[in-house]
Amino acid sequence: MLLKIVQAGEPVLRADASPVAKEQIELAQTKVLIDWMRDTMRDAPGVGLAAPQVGISLQLAVIEDRPEYLRDVSPELLADRERSPVEFHALINPRIVERSDEQVEFFEGCLSVAGFSALVKRSREVTVEYLDERGEERRLEARGWYARILQHEIDHLNGTLYIDRMEPRSFTNLENMGRHWKNRAVADVRRALRLPG
């Protein structure tokens, strides 16, 4: 089943999501929700989806960066973004416990701010602790694009959208993104937009 993805302006996107109790994780309805979120994310298509984006205020997110999403991206851009496939997984009650001081900036979009993109600085590396679909404690370390996805989705669970962190002058619709900025280095984009640094 596909769920409706709510758009910016819906109050659920600006609230702190409620933690998922351990006994809730084992319920059939939680497993079904994870499946529906996976199907909705794939249909969009996207690389991450948080429960608030489908109108449910729970600390639950799903992530998957499928190999086919990378097929048309040049090897240079994949290397620049430190992007490689990420298998499907769900994160319950995730929290970032460590983040690198080094930040990287790339264009970022969101299924709940459909049709737009902007430059966003994020930590290059993060360490995240969470519960998996079986309620087991997990810890993962991520860098590059995977770290960006994790930060984006965990932001959703805390009522934050990428537009809160974006470089405002870089905000663009996807048509103009594809026409002007998609294959350009961030330094070139910053110069073209007359941004400092």
Q: HEC string of 16-51?
A: CCECCCHHHHCCHHHHHHHHHHHHHHHHCCCCEEEH
Residue 51 in contact with residue 33, Cβ under 8 Å? yes
For the question of residue 153 being annotated catalytic, the response is yes
Residue 108 in contact with residue 166, Cβ under 8 Å? yes
Determine the Cα–Cα distance for residues 40 and 29; give it in Å rounded to an integer: 16
Closest CA to 25 of 96, 91, 95: 91
Measure Cα distances from 74 to 70, 84, 127, 177 in Å.
8, 12, 28, 17
> 68: which DSSP letter?
H
Indicate which residue of 64, 108, 125, 153 is catalytic.
153
Determine the Cα–Cα distance for residues 32 and 124; give it in Å rounded to an integer: 33
**Kind and range of the H or E run holding 104:** strand 103-109
Hey, which residues are catalytic here? 153
